[in-house]
Structure 1
Amino acid sequence: MPAAPLSQEEIEERLGDLPGWSLEGNRITCTYRLHTHFAAVGLTVHVAQIQDELNHHSDLTLGYNTVSLSVNTHDAGHVVTEHDLRLATRVAAIAPGHGVR
């Protein structure tokens, strides 16, 4: 059974606890800026591990010193669900350890 969509109000309230994350259309997004390309690669690998643990994957983009995530729940009709916020919360918790600016 797919996860239930969250209301815009629920999403915005929860994003208030996730610095850098925002609602863009039917997705939540965040771009992290790091000091070096190597640090960005490290964060990307760590995010990929979390995604595999949760069995929930974002669009994940590695730039020179940036890592961008954009996510919604495909099997719920491409809307934001608890799965997306759980992923965002886990990523936000590990990002500072990678030197996010």
Structure 2
Amino acid sequence: MPVGPLSQKEIEDRLAELPGWSADGDRLTRSYRLGSHFAAAALVMAVAAVQDELDHHSDLTLGYDTVSLGVHTHSAGGVITERDFRLARRVESVAAAHGAQ
């Protein structure tokens, strides 16, 4: 099923439900802070599993005690779509379970 780009209003409405996430150009972005490097690495693995399950992958960056994501839908021309928000919601629940802030 083809996925089309969301309007700016649709993006803003969805972002209101996802504190910490923002639109940075053509991507949704979010950074998390964790208690240690090991905790951050564990979150990366959990997010990678979700991405494989959804068959939708972000740019995922591991820092010492941080994890950052940037996501857009390549198959829709590199814009923000509902697929990106579906991933963001799933990442939020996984991040919360890992104690990420």
TM-score bucket of the superposed structures, by smaller chain: over 0.9
TM-score normalised over the length of structure 2: 0.96
1:68 aligns to 2:83 (yes or no): no
Q: Tell me the residue number matched to 1:5.
A: 5
Cα distance in structure 2, aligned partners of 1:60 and 1:100: 15
TM-score normalised over the length of structure 1: 0.96
Cα distance in structure 1, aligned partners of 2:66 and 2:12: 24
1:47 aligns to 2:47 (yes or no): yes
Cα distance in structure 1, aligned partners of 2:26 and 2:17: 19
Letter in 2 for 1:49: A
Tell me the matched-pair count: 101
Question: Percent identity at matched positions?
Answer: 62
Q: Tell me the residue number matched to 1:27.
A: 27
- 1:54-100 deviation per Cα after TM superposition (whole angstroms, max 9, x unaligned): 00000000000000000000010000001100000000111111111
Letter in 1 for 2:13: E
The within-5 A match list for 1:69-84 is: 69-84=69-84
Q: Tell me the residue number matched to 1:100.
A: 100
1:13 is paired with a residue whose SS is helix
Deviation at residue 45 of structure 1 after TM alignment? 0.3
Runs (4 or more) in structure 1 with deviation over 6 Å come to: none
8 Å contact from structure 1 (residues 19, 92) kept in 2: no
Cα distance in structure 2, aligned partners of 1:8 and 1:76: 16
Superposition RMSD in Å: 0.9
Structure 2's unaligned 5+ residue stretches are none
Structure 1's unaligned 5+ residue stretches are none
Cα distance in structure 2, aligned partners of 1:89 and 1:8: 18
